[in-house]
Structure 1
Amino acid sequence: MMRKSMGMMTLTSLVLDRRNLTSANHGDWMMRNWIQATMKVAMTSMALQWTRTEWIIPNR
C-alpha cells in the first residue's frame, strides 16, 4: 500500500514537473488554437446568417 502510494506520488510529481516545463508553450498553443477555432465559428455563423438573409429577402 505504501509503496503504491509512493509510486503514485512520484508519477504525479513527474507529470507536474513536465507540465510546468511545457505549460508556457502549451498554454500559448492552446490559446492560439482556441482563438482560431472561435474565429472560424464566428466567421462561418456570420456568413451563414448573411447568406440566409440574402436568400430570404429576394424570395419575399
Structure 2
Amino acid sequence: MSDRQKELTHVISEYFPNSWHRHCSKFLLNNFKVKYPLLILQDLFWMAAKAPNEFLFKKRQ
C-alpha cells in the first residue's frame, strides 16, 4: 500500500510483478476532497471504498 508515489509503484511492480498494489484510501480521499468538497460525496467515496466485491461496489454507486 502506498500514497501513490510513482517511484514506489514502479519498484513494486518490477520486483513483485504478480502482486497487487493498493493505494491508501485516506490519501485518495484528501485529493478527492480538494476537487469535490461536498460531504455527501465523501460518504459515497467511503461506501464504494469499503465494498468487498464488484457487485456491492456497483450497488453503492
> What TM-score do you get using the length of structure 2 for normalisation?
0.26
Which of structures 1 and 2 has the bigger CA Rg?
Answer: 1
Between 1 and 2, higher relative CO (CA 8 Å, sep ≥ 6) is seen in 2
TM-score (norm. length: structure 1): 0.27
